């Protein structure tokens, strides 16, 4: 809520000012908010479907990394799809009561936005798995085949969903079906319980993933830089042309470019999710939070926007992916040749 002064002219030409109270609740239902959510949804759905199509269409882009990126893109696409009913269509307090088991399930699983936030957390965990795969491939290349088998890769993907569903399960008990008003928020059992839920929730959504991904990418980049410098010294000290050494140098530089792309993902994740998580953390500690205010909606715009920027970043920073886009839509889209660079296959064995 804010206070504004409006100027009015009287019949004798003098100006007077009236105090007008403006409620930001109108902002939450405004066409501007709907337009922003609509743009984010459209860009996210189209961009992530494009990434999935290209990564699956072009054979030389296939690797463990690309499989995890496909999963990330599918989850991000689902997040953008869920924005439409959860953010553009009112939910709580607007539908007629639906007593009974089905009404309770719809209220606790759907209207509570449990599904939406599970998918959002799963998306974050998917990004962690992509960074983890690169971390193992670069820092522990000789253990890669043992640490990341096909079975373990799928286990990592399943774990993202299991952790997301379990961590967000508390929201199922905070909503219930009322015989008079329908689905409604039941409030927190106690301030202590709210804090006990808030700290691990923010840790899973922001602080934990950011710290872990930053550490892994720092190790990856320093390891690659050290390997590049060692290889440069070895090639410089040899008078004999060494094609294998030049190819190894190309692979290391390609790995380094992909690692910098993933580091961009990490920094973008931090920029997109920081405001929403701090807003949520203050609320969990009892600070008054207006969930119809522009600040809150901007934080949600940024958080949801993280699900649509990853394909844009990858397209802008990865030359082989840009070549792969042209290849995927050409008549010979199933060709095994993409160009001079492929999606990182170094250390995949």
Cα 308 from Cα 80, distance rounded (Å): 8
- Contacts of residue 311, defined as CB under 8 A and 6 or more positions apart, other chains included, come to 47, 48, 50, 51, 73
* 3-state helix/strand/coil string of 151-212: HHHHHHHHHHHHHHHHHCHHHHHCEEEECCCEEEECCCCCHHHHHHHHHHHHHHHHHHHHHH
Confidence category of residue 340, pLDDT binned at 50, 70, 90 = very low
The residue that leads in pLDDT, 24 or 101, is 101
Cα(328)–Cα(320) distance, rounded to whole angstroms? 12
Q: How far is CA 229 from CA 122, 234, 262, in A?
A: 37, 9, 21
The string of DSSP letters for 66-87 reads HHHHHHHHHHHHHHHHHHHHHH
pTM listed for this prediction: 0.78
Q: Which CATH superfamily is domain 2-329 in?
A: Rhodopsin 7-helix transmembrane proteins (1.20.1070.10)
pLDDT 10s digits, 202-249: 999 999 999 999 999 888 888 877 777 776 676 666 655 556 555 666
Q: What are phi and psi of 334, to 5 degrees?
A: -95, 10
The pLDDT value recorded for residue 8 is: 45
Least confidently predicted of 43-52, 281-290, 338-347: 338-347
pLDDT per residue as tens digits for the range 111-165: 888 998 999 999 999 999 988 998 898 889 889 888 888 899 999 999 999 999 9
HSE value, Cβ hemisphere, 13 Å, CA-based, for 57: 19
The domain ranges of the chain are: 2-329
Q: What percent of the chain has pLDDT over 70?
A: 75
| 304-332 per-position pLDDT tens digit | 888 888 778 777 777 778 888 888 888 65
The rounded mean pLDDT for the chain is 77
């Amino acid at each position: 809520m804010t206070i504004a002064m409006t100027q009015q002219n009287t019949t004798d030409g003098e100006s007077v000012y009236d105090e007008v109270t403006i409620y930001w609740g109108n902002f939450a239902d405004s066409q501007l908010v709907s337009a922003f959510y609509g743009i984010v949804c459209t860009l996210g759905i189209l961009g992530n479907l494009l990434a999935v199509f290209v990564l699956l269409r072009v054979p030389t882009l296939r690797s463990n990394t690309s499989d995890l990126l496909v999963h990330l893109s599918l989850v991000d696409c689902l997040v953008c799809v869920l924005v439409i009913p959860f953010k553009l269509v009112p939910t709580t307090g607007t539908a007629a009561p639906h007593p009974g088991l089905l009404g309770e399930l719809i209220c606790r699983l759907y209207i509570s936005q449990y599904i939406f936030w599970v998918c959002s957390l799963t998306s974050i965990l998917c990004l962690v798995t992509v960074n983890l795969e690169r971390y193992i491939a670069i820092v522990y290349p000789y253990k890669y085949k043992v640490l990341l088998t096909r079975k373990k890769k799928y286990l990592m993907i399943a774990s993202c969903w299991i952790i997301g569903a379990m961590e967000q399960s508390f929201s199922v008990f905070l909503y219930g079906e009322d015989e008079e008003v329908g689905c409604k928020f039941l409030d927190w059992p106690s301030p202590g319980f709210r804090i006990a839920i808030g700290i691990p929730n923010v840790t899973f959504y922001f602080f934990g993933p950011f710290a872990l991904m930053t550490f892994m990418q720092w190790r990856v980049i320093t390891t690659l830089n050290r390997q590049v410098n060692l290889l440069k010294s070895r090639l410089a000290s040899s008078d004999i042309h060494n094609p294998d050494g030049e190819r190894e140098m190309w692979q290391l530089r390609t790995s380094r470019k992909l690692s910098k792309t993933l580091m961009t993902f990490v920094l973008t994740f931090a920029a997109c999710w920081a405001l929403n998580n701090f807003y949520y953390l203050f609320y969990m500690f009892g600070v008054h939070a207006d969930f119809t205010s522009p600040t809150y909606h901007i934080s949600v715009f940024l958080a949801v926007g993280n699900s649509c920027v990853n394909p844009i970043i990858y397209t802008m920073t990865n030359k082989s992916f840009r070549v792969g886009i042209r290849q995927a839509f050409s008549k010979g889209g199933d060709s095994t040749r993409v160009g001079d660079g492929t999606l990182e296959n170094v250390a995949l064995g």
